[in-house]
Structures are given as structure tokens and as C-alpha cells.
Structure 1
Amino acid sequence: MNDARPRALVTGASAGIGKSYAEHLARTGHDLVLVARRADRLETLAAELREATQAEVEVLPADLGTDDGVDAVTARIDKGDTAFLVNNAGYAARGKVTELDTQALAAMLSVNIVALSKLSASAMRSMTALRRGTIVNLCSGTVFMRLPGNAGYGASKNYVMAFTRHMQAEAAGTGVRVQLLVPGVIATDFHEIAGNSLDNFPPERVMQPDDLVVASLRALEMEEPVCIPSLPDIRNWDNYVAAEALVAKDSSHDRPAPRYHGA
């Protein structure tokens, strides 16, 4: 790696949002480590990026639903030269709670929660030691919704939101930036894989992955720790946080609230 070029590691890099991150980061001066299950797609993308940019591009095929896959990626991060981590890999296994395929649920949670947590922990250790670095964790706009059939996936992304916000608190003063990115509906194959279709969404609700990534990178420049690209007024997020604080301050007292007292 050229010392002037920081290295970014992108998971789920073979298509969609991850591919868009890889393209934008390569064009803006990063060397890359591309992670996904599909080695052939990674090799094709790597060749394209090497030709189009000055980036060194390393391909790391790994299934983040397996211990071996997660271990391979954390070992790569533990080398200490990852300056930018994009935790993009994830998918949706949907179904009403009474009808859930529990094996499919467990497999999804392994990727969406366990893998993201382990990769984040590895990156935080390395970056904190160097007092610099950036971590972007992909969440979902469904964290603000209660949708039948979405309990497992929605809960996994609520975990990502909570985990990332705790990371942000711990990163304060360390020189490490941690971004929570909250996409809405993005024009990728995510929905087809989850058994849905982009045709079910009005066009005005569907964002292109390049626009999402540009917003994320711009939010980093603006020092906005939570990026909700579709949100017109960031004060709405501030109000959400303020409402949390109102509940938090009264969430633990020595007596139940008056409404629970007998008549």
C-alpha cells in the first residue's frame, strides 16, 4: 500500500451498496480490501477498480455467516492497516413470529449482529491504538417502524443502531469516527433476495446506492455521526434523541409511577 493512500475494508462488496462504496472510496484515494462470498464478482470488481484508479485492491472471499469467514476478516483487520471499515454485509430473513424459520433467523443474526460486532470490535481496537480511523455501520429505516413479518430483521437492525451508538460514546476523544448509516429503500437486489420486489415501492421512495454512499461520505465530512440520507431536517433525529432522554431519566426510581398505585 502507498503510504499516502489509506486502506478501506468493505463487506458485502460484490454488489449494491458495498460495490458503490468500493467504487467511491477507490476514486477518492483509498486502497481496498473487498469482502463477500462471491469470489468471481469480487475479482471482476477488483480488476475494474485497478484499471480505473490507482488503488491497490485485495480480494478476500469470506462468508460472514460462518466462524471461519468472520475469523478471516477479523484477522485481516487485526493487521492494523485498515483505516476505513464499512460494515455493509447483511440480509433479511422475514416472516411472522408464529411462522419463523428459526434456522434462517439464526443464520441472519449471525451476519447482521455477530459478524458486525466482531468486525467492529477488531477495528475499534486497531484504530484506537492509532488514534484514527472510520467505521460505518449499515442500519435500516425499519428501526423506526413496526411491520408484521419484520420482527427478526427489524430487531437485528435495532441492535446495530444501539451497538453503534454505544460505539460512538466510547469513541469520543479517541480520534476514531463511527457513523450510523440508516438507509431507506435502496435500488439493489436486497429486496428480491428477501422475497420482495422494488416494484412494490413507489419510485419516490427508492434511492440509488450511489446517492446513499455520497450522502454517507458527505455526512462524515460534516461530522454528522448519524446519517439518514432521506431525512430533510436533522432536527427530527435530535428530537428523537431528546425523547429518549426524557424516558431514560425516569426509567429507574425506587417506586413505581403513581398510575400503578392502587386507588
Structure 2
Amino acid sequence: MAERVIEVDGIELCTESFGDPSDPPVLLVMGLGASMLWWEEGFCRMLAAGGRFVIRYDHRDTGRSVTYAPGRPGYDAADLVADAVRVLRAHEVPAAHVVGVSAGGALAQLLALDHAARVRSLVLISTSSAVPGDEELPPPAEEFTRFAVAAPPDPADAGAVIDHQVAYARVLAGGRRPFDEAAALGLVRRDVERAHDFGAARNHDSLADGEVSQAPLSSITVPTLVIHGTADPMFPLRHGEALAQRIPGARLLALRDAGHGVERADWATIAAAILEHTAAGSSN
């Protein structure tokens, strides 16, 4: 299906769906600073082929969704949680199985806490707890931290931006597997070329929380699957383990030598796990 720009509550968000709308719906929530392209089309079609109606969308300030002036987003993290509800409303989906990666996993947790009726189940990939806990979790890997604190490229220099994003993808991959630079380069180029203003995504770096839930993760009652790479440089594996322990009944799937995100080498494993997990509640 072609991309579709929806407007709900005056907010324009670019969405795309795959599969039969009569199948159980799966909403894919990407991490901050990343457009829906990072839920790659081939992965989305795997889920659709398994009998799911798949929806992906661009966050504000990414891709073809509403874009704000750099440094002046005019929205907060709570608005991004509400945007997920807006996408479901526009697609006339009362409730969906919600799959979030990285910060998108945190948004998915908040969605389950603040809009429980909208969530059939959760799949949380490469993420950490969205609300404070008692345990002190390990920091990111040194290589990730060095990259994160380095000065970003001039947003007007498209070539430098692309090189920087490919380098970032290499760091996120974790270093234990061969890195597919050609695939990363192709994806980053499409992302940069497609965006209204690729530099505006940096607005996500300084978002306030807004009025988000302070409820404990123990109050999440929907079936939850946590998927985490053992080589994740942003959130070491202990983050995923702790998350699975804090949500009642949650299961953990550890991906050996996987980094941060949904890597092509893991598509079949992750898709199969999502299809199995969402099958249990598909009649809801």
C-alpha cells in the first residue's frame, strides 16, 4: 500500500500499511530520530505474510510527517505517545499489538500504561524501562558513548550526514557480526532524501517528557515479549532482562551477538517470535 498522510487533531503523520485490514493489527513504533523506513519493507511484509495487518509511521520531525524548526519542536514525549493513538484512530483500529524498538519501546510501554484499551500485547525490542526502577542498570558501551558525544555533522552537508548515519549504524550493530555497509548506506540515503528536513530529527534529542505515566511497569497486564541483542551497545542486555522481570508474565528472547535494532540477519527470528506472540491475542 502507498504511503498515506493522515491528519488527526491537526497533526499530519505519514503512515503506511501492509496486509489485510481484517487481520490482527500490529503497530510498529520506531525509536526517536528515526523514520518508519527503519522498519524495513521486507520485514513488514514478513509480518503481513504471516497474517497480520501491519502499520508503520513517521514520528513528527522524521520522514514526511509534520516537521518543526530545528530547536523548536513544540511537542514532547507525551505527544509522541498520543500520536500512536492518532495513527490507530486514522486506520480505524480500536486496539493493536504494539511493537516498539529502542525509544519506541519506551513509547510503547507508556502507551500500555496511559492508553491500555488500545494495546492488545507488547513486543519491546532493544529498549529499557520507560519509568524509573530501583536497579542501577549498566551504561552504554564506550564506543557508543564516544560516538554520541562527538559533534554532529553540518546538516546542510548531505554527504557528511549520510556518512555519519552509516557510521552510527555500524556502532549500533555491536561489532560481533559482519556489518552490511552497502545495505546501511542504501537505507540512510533513502531516509535523508525522503525527509522534509532530515536535520529536524535532532529535535528528538531534547524533548521534555510531558505528562506521561508514573505508574509502575508492574501495572502492565497485556502479554509482553522482550527481545534484546546480547551485543547491544546502547542498552546492554541487563536492560532487557530487567524489563522482562518488571512486567508481569513477560518473556525474554535474547538474540546472540545482535546489536541494537532490528537487523536483517534476525528478521526471520524476530518476525516468527512476533507472529507467535500476537497469535495468542489475535481474537481480541
**Interval of TM-score (by shorter of Structure 1 and Structure 2):** 0.3 to 0.5
Q: Normalising by the residue count of structure 1, what TM-score does the alignment of the two structures yield?
A: 0.40
- Rg larger in structure: 1
Q: Normalising by the residue count of structure 2, what TM-score does the alignment of the two structures yield?
A: 0.37
